[in-house]
Amino acid sequence: MEVYLDNGATTKPREEVINIMVKSMRENYGNPSSMHRKGVEVEKLLKKARRQVAKALGADERDIYFTSGGTESNNMAILGALEGNRRRGNHIITTKIEHPSVLNVFKSLEEKGYEVSYIDVGKNGVINIEEFKNSLRDDTVLISIMYVNNEVGTLQPIDNIISIIKGMKKKPLIHVDAIQAFGKIDFNVNKLKVDLMSISGHKIHGPKGIGALYVRKGTKLKSIFFGGSQEQGLRSGTENVPGILGLGAAAESVKKNLKTNTSKMIHLKTILLKAIKNKIEDIKINGSDLEGSAPHILNISFEGIRGEVLLHSLEQEGIYISTGSACSSKKKKVFSHVLKEMGLTDNQMEGAIRFSISHENTEDEIEYTIEKLVDIVGKLRKVIGRR
C-alpha cells in the first residue's frame, strides 16, 4: 500500500487540474498579451482563473495577482509594501515561527536598517498576544504573520490581531501567509480585513510554481520586478498560463468542497491521533492537537527515536511523512526553528515527525499507517534497549 501523508510539503494535482494544464499547453498556447485571437482566448481563460481564485478567497478579482508561488507572493508582499510606504516608518513585525520565505526577508530587511520585532510563541506555537500588543508603535509599517504554521499546524489569532490594530491611529499594513490555511480554514479576505494575503497552488492539489497575492484595493505596493508590466504592472513576466489555469481549477474545487474536505481531514486526523495516544507511550504532541489546529497537520515527537529513522522506516512500508518542514528537513543537524521556539528539547526535536493529511486519504490508509507505526516504534525502541 502507498500512503502519502506529506500534504503539507506538497499535494498530488487533481485530475481536472492536470487536464486543464495539458489542454492549455496543447491548444491555448497563445500569449495573453497578443492582440490576435490566440492571445485573446488565453486572456479570457486567465480572467476566469482570476475569478475562481478571487471567489475562493472572497476577494474582488481585480485584487488578485498571479505569482510563481508562495515564496514569491510573500517576498512581493513584504518588500513591495515597504517600498510603497517608505515614509510611513521603519518598524516591522513578524513572528519567530514564520516560513523562511517570510523570516529570511525580515532578516535581510533588518540588515538594511529596518527595526524588526520578532514575536515569541508559547509552548503551543501560538504567538504571545500581549507581546504583540506591546511591540506596536506609531512607526510600525507592516505586520506579517502566518495563518497556519506549516510544521505544527497551529492557528494564529488573525482576527484578534486585526481588531487590535484597527484601533491604532496609524494602522500598519497586515500581510497574512495563508499558504497552509487556504482550503483548510474557512475564511474570507474581505471579512478578515487583511491588506495582503499569499496563497500557493501546490498545497491545494494544484500545480507547483504558481501562487497568488491578494492586495486590498488602495494598498500601496511597489513592484519588485521590472519588465513588461503584466499583472497590472506588479508582476512582470509572461504569465504561467497552464499554472494559472490549474490554480484556478484547484481553487474552485477547494471553495466548493471546503466543508466536506475539512470534516474528512478532521475525521482522519482524529483517528490517527487517538490511536497514537492509545497505542504508543512516551510521545509528545507538538502544538495543539485538534482544537486550535489546522485539520491537516499533526506533529508528534517519539521519545528516544530519531524522526529521520522513523521517516525512512515508514517509507519502507510505503508511507510518506516528513520531519519538520520539507525545506528544513534536508539540512542535517539543523533543528526546526519552530520546534525550538516552542521550547522542545533537542531529543524531542530530533524525534519529531509531521503527518499531513489530505481529504484524498482514506480510513484504510490511516489504519495501515497506525499498524505500521506502532510496529516500527516498538521495534526501534527495543533495538535501543528502551523496553
Positions annotated as catalytic residues are 327
Q: Coil, strand or helix: which one is 105?
A: helix
Q: Given the complex with ligand PLP, which of 68 and 361 has the nearer CB atom?
A: 68
Contact between 294 and ligand PLP per CB under 6 A:
no
Q: Given the complex with ligand PLP, which of 109 and 146 has the nearer CB atom?
A: 146
Least distance from ligand PLP to the Cβ atom of residue 100, Å? 8
Q: Given the complex with ligand PLP, which of 11 and 313 has the nearer CB atom?
A: 11
Of the CA atoms within 13 Å of residue 221, those in its CB half-sphere come to: 33
Contact between 75 and ligand PLP per CB under 6 A:
no
Least distance from ligand PLP to the Cβ atom of residue 102, Å? 7
- Residues with Cβ within 8 Å of 131's Cβ and at least 6 positions away in sequence, in order, are 119, 120
Contact between 180 and ligand PLP per CB under 6 A:
yes
State the residue number with the nearest CB to ligand PLP: 70
Number of residues near ligand PLP (by CB under 6 A)? 14
Interface pick for ligand PLP out of 24, 200, 301, 358 (rule CB under 6 A): 200
Least distance from ligand PLP to the Cβ atom of residue 182, Å? 10
Least distance from ligand PLP to the Cβ atom of residue 92, Å? 17
Distance between CA atoms of 281 and 287, rounded to whole angstroms?
Answer: 18
Interface pick for ligand PLP out of 6, 177, 239, 252 (rule CB under 6 A): 177
Q: Given the complex with ligand PLP, which of 30 and 70 has the nearer CB atom?
A: 70
Q: Are 125 and 354 in contact (CB under 8 A)?
A: no
Q: Given the complex with ligand PLP, which of 313 and 325 has the nearer CB atom?
A: 325
Distance between CA atoms of 310 and 326, rounded to whole angstroms?
Answer: 15
Least distance from ligand PLP to the Cβ atom of residue 209, Å? 8
Residues 96-135 as x/- pattern, contact with ligand PLP by CB under 6 A: ---x-x----------------------------------
Interface pick for ligand PLP out of 126, 179, 298, 310 (rule CB under 6 A): 179
Cβ burial 161-198 (10 Å sphere, 16+ → b, else e): bbeebeeeeeebbbbbbbbbbbbbbebebeebebbbbb
How many CB atoms are closer than 10 A to CB 224? 17
Q: Given the complex with ligand PLP, which of 150 and 299 has the nearer CB atom?
A: 150
Give, to the nearest 10 degrees, the angle between helix 241-256 and helix 258-279. 80
- Residues with Cβ within 8 Å of 23's Cβ and at least 6 positions away in sequence, in order, are none
Distance between CA atoms of 150 and 74, rounded to whole angstroms?
Answer: 14
Q: Given the complex with ligand PLP, which of 24 and 71 has the nearer CB atom?
A: 71
Residues 133-152 as x/- pattern, contact with ligand PLP by CB under 6 A: -------------x---x--
H-state helical runs in the chain: 15-26, 37-57, 70-84, 100-111, 129-135, 158-166, 189-192, 241-256, 258-279, 307-316, 326-329, 337-341, 346-350, 363-383
Residue among 213, 195, 166 at smallest CA distance from 71: 213
Contact between 95 and ligand PLP per CB under 6 A:
no
Strands of 352-356's sheet, edge to edge?
A: 283-286, 297-302, 352-356
Distance between CA atoms of 308 and 294, rounded to whole angstroms?
Answer: 24
Strands 115-119 and 91-95: parallel
Site for ligand PLP in 41-70 (CB under 6 A): 69-70
Least distance from ligand PLP to the Cβ atom of residue 184, Å? 11
Contact between 71 and ligand PLP per CB under 6 A:
yes
Residue among 179, 147, 181 at smallest CA distance from 161: 147
Residues that bind ligand PLP (CB under 6 A): 69-71, 74, 99, 101, 146, 150, 177, 179-180, 200, 202, 211
